[in-house]
Amino acid sequence: MSESILNLVADIGGTNIRFGLVNDDGTTSDIKTYQCDQYDSLADVISVYLALHNYAGKVINACLAIACPVETDQITMTNLPWTFSQSALKKALNISQLFLINDYTAIAHAVPLLTQAQKVQIGEGVAIANKPISICGPGTGLGVANLVPTTDGWCCLGGEGGHVDFAPVDADEIKILSYLLETKQHRISYEQLLCGRGLEQIYQAFLSIDNQPKSNLSAEQISVKAIDGSCPLCEKSLLQFCNTLGSFAGNLALTLGCFGGVYIAGGIVPRFIDFMKSSGFRQRFDAKGRLSSFINNIPTYVITEAQPGLIGASAYIRQQLSSMKGQI
């Protein structure tokens, strides 16, 4: 990176914002984390970070990964009282090129760069280079993104795949669906099972199905009790979560022909990878009837890298500036 150019990347969540500078080799340095609630606006915290790097007179390019829709100029963050105009932010900070991307677009662009140390494979399968990749991430919700290769690198296909209709495939899931339809609402999506709140709803469903007393365990409590074996119903609930996730991930593989692999992101699954390996996740991934042989060799991974957002934002800005013949 030229000394006269700063290529800034950021991963902006509801609690923290992480910044870094992109190096010539694509790595990210000078990473610093700030608490969002300590600042009145995004422009304020960016200014604080830039001031550390003597940015006056330098060309500033920026790629900001943010957990909210980014299709319009006016941005309203979902979990923060920050609203801003992309064009106004660019002008206020004298940014040459500004790229605002969804957080799952950033995670998707990180995937091709992950080393073996930054992911764990679940089951068998071998990735094929330059083939489509899918990513799904149970967390607060269920994020989904897809990558397809292009002549210039990778193109991310976003959308709201986590909100497709939930399709039960065994007797337990039919009972869970019936419970949710009776007690919650008239349409059940995969996100309503495959997120933190979803694990809680699976647990609540099994309590009702087994005629057990009500219990308001959190997703974290359910996971802990499942892993340490202290609660059979918690273990059953977490196994069901893994199984349903396997079916959903397999659906992604079928839809796009993801011979580059299917990756699990988000903050939930990395907490119980060993449990996931012993669950029916991979069996359910493969169980696609006549099309099972189509996806049996597609590998599935859990992303363990703590900062995929910064890695992906760095990859994205380099690809965009390169296509514009910018200087990295």
Annotated binding site: 10-15
Q: What does the alpha-carbon distance between residue 277 and residue 283 come to, in Å, rounded to a whole number? A: 10
User: Residues at the annotated binding site for ATP?
Assistant: 10-15
Please give the Cα distance from 305 to 299 (Å, whole number): 18
Candidates 93, 91, 100; CA nearest to 73 is 100
Name the DSSP letter for residue 280. T
Instruction: Measure CA 247 to chain center.
Output: 18
Please count the residues of the chain: 328
- Strand positions, DSSP E, the chain: 5-12, 16-22, 28-35, 59-66, 74-76, 83-85, 95-102, 119-122, 133-138, 142-150, 153-157, 262-264, 300-303
Token readout for 239 is 């196994």
Q: Where are the alpha helices (DSSP H) in 75-195?
A: 86-92, 103-110, 171-183
Q: Distance (Å, rounded) from C-alpha 199 to C-alpha 204? A: 9
DSSP, residue by residue, 184-203: T-S--BGGGTSSHHHHHHHH
